[in-house]
Amino acid sequence: MVKAKNKINTKEIFKGLQTQMEAKLTFNRSVVGHSTAKGDFTELEWIEMLSTYLPKRYCADKAFVIDSDGEISDQIDIVIFDRQYSPFILRQNGVTYVPAECVYAVIEVKQDLSKENITYAQNKAESVRKLKRTSIEIPHAGGVYPPKKHARVLAGILAFDGSLSKEMQGIVVNSDENKVINFGCSLIGKTYFKLSSYHPWDENKKPYQLALQKDENSLVNFFMNLIIELQKLGTVPAMDINEYLK
């Protein structure tokens, strides 16, 4: 007797996820009048999606990023971070503070993919990338691993609508290193872009290579490519807690 093979259509599953996100954010956009409340709702939806589907090693939350010198970033809509080598994530009065050493990526959430919002996301990313990040040796059974070099922090923008104009493409591929936007997604605009061949450690020459896609799978493209980029970064280095104790 030949058993029937069970199959699952992963394409339909991801398509359903995109349809679900579109419905939630469309409803929010139509019924919530106040721009701040609308933005907060949208951020929470994206954070919930990422927290649900990203591998468990990654945390996602709205947060400020801090360093051992007491410097602090702008508030970031979504910070993707790792707690393995970070013993403290501070939460006070509903506000989260994440050490710079454990940050993988920062993402801004906007209603529209526009020139102004691209620039805004660049400035937010710069406020994180300029922070100090420590790294120390990691003991193991045979001795110690030397301090690990930090990879560049990824940065992105998630928008409900809009597309990437020629002018905006020029801004993305010619930005300063600290202002690089590695990826972006417009849900209703069916747009996804990323900097292809962008290296997390080695020097990257301008103009950066831009991959731009316009199809119904913008959310799927964003999420799967985000995981690919996170995998390239490996695990964050161990932070020097003594620097924070000073």
pLDDT the model gives residue 159: 94
Q: Which of 61, 77, 126, 229 is catalytic?
A: 77
pLDDT tens profile 108-121? 999 999 999 999 99
Q: Flag whether pLDDT at 207 surpasses 60.
A: yes
Q: Which of 38, 62, 110, 190 is catalytic?
A: 110
pLDDT tens profile 129-150? 999 999 999 887 888 889 889 9
Task: Tell me, yes or no, if 202 is annotated catalytic.
Answer: no
Q: At what angle do helices 115-129 and 166-173 cross, to 10 degrees?
A: 10
Q: Which of 67, 82, 101, 108 is catalytic?
A: 108
Task: Tell me, yes or no, if 110 is annotated catalytic.
Answer: yes
pLDDT the model gives residue 87: 65
pLDDT tens profile 150-168? 999 999 999 999 999 999 9
Domains with residue ranges and CATH for the chain: 10-132+147-245 (3.40.91)
pLDDT the model gives residue 37: 56
Alpha carbon distance 221, 198 (integer Å): 17
This prediction has a pTM of 0.89
Cβ proximity of 85 and 62 under 8 Å = no
pLDDT tens profile 53-98? 899 889 999 999 999 999 999 999 999 999 776 667 788 887 899 9
Cβ proximity of 173 and 167 under 8 Å = no
